[in-house]
Structure 1
Amino acid sequence: MNWLTTVFRATGGAGRTRGGRSVRVAAVLAALLVAVPLAGTPAVAKPAPIVGGENQTDADGLAAVLINGNYQCTGSIVDNYWVLTARHCLFSGSTRIPDSQITVRVKSINWNTGGGVVQVATSRVRTNHDIAMLKLNRSANAQPVRLPTATTTVGATTYAFGWGRTCVGCAPSAVLRRATQQVTHINGYTDLHGGRAIRTLGLNGNVCFGDSGGPLFKLVDGLRYQVGVLSWGDSTCGGAGDYWATVPDSRDWILNVMATV
């Protein structure tokens, strides 16, 4: 029995849900998006890029979240001392991963080389939203992303970034990738922990295993605003729909964490 079969049986089957009717299924898909252990490797996260899309030549505003030096999730730099990612990225099952095991690599298109690795000093997770903040022990010396005050609109063109697989069975690629996606819903779906979710469909690419916590950007006057954090999605990486924690709903919480922690 392979690892995927074990997970799906333990949770009672697979399928996507509308609203908050099946957090159990969403938890399966979110766990898959964090990482899929490869044959002969421990069950610690491995990298994996976006299906389709295109390679990136810079990693402005992006961070690779590592656990004990292994790739775990994607994150975004919202302040030189703070990285935004998904809440579920900081858990192994129901156990919170200690901050001492978490680092981030910044200013590199590769998750495992280049740029600089920064230790996480402390972290915070939001209740009932798939949102988390990592405080760094030194400045990332990067250009932070912008946080919008209002959510995106249905039909908007957006951009997903991450170090996820290029296909379900592909070998991992360490290069950051981007996929263009269209917003199909801004209400009626929830993220893994019950917050409002944005739903997107891929235009030239879809998220896959390893992209959790990554940003969904919308361009306004040529500037990137982060409207979502990847929470869960289609377990086949086939473009049946991706679900993002809505960043504007957590903006006040994010700003308060940065101001008080």
Structure 2
Amino acid sequence: MEKVNRYATKPKPGILITLIVLYIQLSTTNSAVPQPRCDYRSCKYYSMLTSQASSLFQLAGLRFFQNCTCNRYGVTLPAKFITSTPQPSTATGCGISQLTGSATQFLRSNAGRVVGGTAAAECKYPWTVHVIAGLYQCGGSIIDNRHIVTAAHCLRSGNYLIPASQVEVGVGSSNKTKLTYYKVQLIDRHPNYRPSTFDFDIAVLTLQFPLPDDDPCMKPICLPSPGLSIETGVQCVVAGWGAQMESSRQGSTNLQEAVIPIMNKDACTAAYGDYMMNDRKLCAGYSRGGIDACQGDSGGPFMCAKGDSWVLAGVVSFGNGCARPDNPGVYANVMNLKSWLDSVII
């Protein structure tokens, strides 16, 4: 069977739809119609419109800037947010979700039920982010207010390494249409990443601007430390905006979550072979299939519990299709790659 990575390509909006939306925005007199959001994507788009020859497009762009202040990087942040010191993921409060409560108790009371998942409530996993890298869509995890962990394969197209200038990170909501996008300043891919085997499939993105310290929808997840249980049978959670069935090319608008157990190494080896599996990877899923990460979920978090906190145990990497029987999803094992993370996040 074909082994596939789990990023998704970005659809391009139709020109006709764009013109219809612009016509509605400019012709309506109803004050209840919401103005465009002040996020990076909108800022870049409406800035482009102001330079067009058509007066219709120019007016749409100018109307936006009457209601929002932006700069070439994205949203202009209040001065109190511009700090030079990241908040480390080991700080008190990492991995705490106000909606799940204790991570351990949440997993004990939720049976395994992305593909085969359910929609997550708004800001339930406030560290989960949407990564756009060139034409690809992936997930990622906030580990402090400047750094995002994602999959190395999300930042590569064949032999082409996607530059930081083509990468954006969407944060602040479980609804993909409500995300605010931040530009990336620097990409650190693991130097030993191997595309043929997805070994060392991990990378760190450094944002140009730090995330706000006091937004409950933008919080760091904890990095693993000794004592985290990632043994066979341990239940954990995967989350992402990827496809909800293997045959689909469309991602989900609402963040999806699923509870899945870690599988033993024999099941992984049976599905992918000795040459693919090692201690830098772990597998999770059900032998019957039905619940799994899929295209568009690459780089997203595989979260396990340590006490009340959620810990980034894995990074969505690859699989044989999505949710197939006896073909578990494979994740980069963050515990065994943490020494590299620590050397990069300074």
**TM-score, scaled to structure 2:** 0.58
Cα 1:40–1:104 change in 2 (3 A) is closer
> What is the aligned partner in structure 2 of residue 225 from structure 1?
311
Q: CA deviation at 1:207?
A: 0.9
- Counterpart check, 1:135 vs 2:206: yes
Q: Distance in 1 between matches of 2:247 and 2:309?
A: 35
Is the CA contact 1:52–1:206 (under 8 Å) kept in the aligned structure 2?
yes
**Which of 308, 325, 328 pairs up with 1:241?**
328
Q: Distance in 2 between matches of 1:186 and 1:125?
A: 26
Q: CA deviation at 1:39?
A: 11
- Counterpart check, 1:185 vs 2:241: no
> What is the aligned partner in structure 2 of residue 146 from structure 1?
222
| Count of residues in correspondence between the two structures | 222
Q: Distance in 1 between matches of 2:209 and 2:138?
A: 20
Cα 1:29–1:226 change in 2 (3 A) is same
Q: CA deviation at 1:230?
A: 1.1
Is the CA contact 1:191–1:245 (under 8 Å) kept in the aligned structure 2?
no
Q: Distance in 2 between matches of 1:219 and 1:204?
A: 23
The 5 A counterparts of 1:71-86 are 72-86=137-151
- Matched residue SS, 2:340: helix
Q: Distance in 2 between matches of 1:37 and 1:80?
A: 26
Q: Distance in 1 between matches of 2:275 and 2:305?
A: 23
> What is the aligned partner in structure 2 of residue 160 from structure 1?
238
The 5 A counterparts of 1:11-90 are 14-15=1-2, 28-30=3-5, 33-35=6-8, 50-57=114-121, 58=123, 59-68=125-134, 72-90=137-155
Amino acid in the other structure paired with 2:285: L
Q: Distance in 1 between matches of 2:299 and 2:277?
A: 13
- Matched residue SS, 2:4: helix
Considering fraction of residues, name the structure with more strand.
1
Q: Distance in 2 between matches of 1:40 and 1:117?
A: 18
> What is the aligned partner in structure 1 of residue 98 from structure 2?
none
- Matched residue SS, 1:178: strand
Cα 1:72–1:246 change in 2 (3 A) is same
Amino acid in the other structure paired with 2:210: S
Is the CA contact 2:236–2:262 (under 8 Å) kept in the aligned structure 1?
yes
Deviations 1:90-117 (A, max 9, x none): 0011210011000100111133x22321
> What is the aligned partner in structure 2 of residue 124 from structure 1?
188
Return 5+ residue gaps in structure 2 as ranges: 15-113, 193-199, 213-217
Q: Distance in 2 between matches of 1:88 and 1:193?
A: 17
Deviations 1:20-63 (A, max 9, x none): xxxxxxxx411xx112577999xxxxxxxx11111112240111
Return 5+ residue gaps in structure 1 as ranges: 1-13, 16-27, 42-49
Deviations 1:97-141 (A, max 9, x none): 011000100111133x22321100001011330010000011123
Q: Distance in 2 between matches of 1:161 and 1:184?
A: 18
Considering fraction of residues, name the structure with more helix.
2
- State the superposition RMSD in angstroms: 2.7
Deviations 1:44-90 (A, max 9, x none): xxxxxx1111111224011100135x651000001110000001000
Q: Distance in 2 between matches of 1:252 and 1:225?
A: 16
Amino acid in the other structure paired with 1:169: S
Range moving further from structure 2, 220-229 or 198-207: 198-207
Q: CA deviation at 1:172?
A: 3.1
Is the CA contact 1:159–1:218 (under 8 Å) kept in the aligned structure 2?
yes
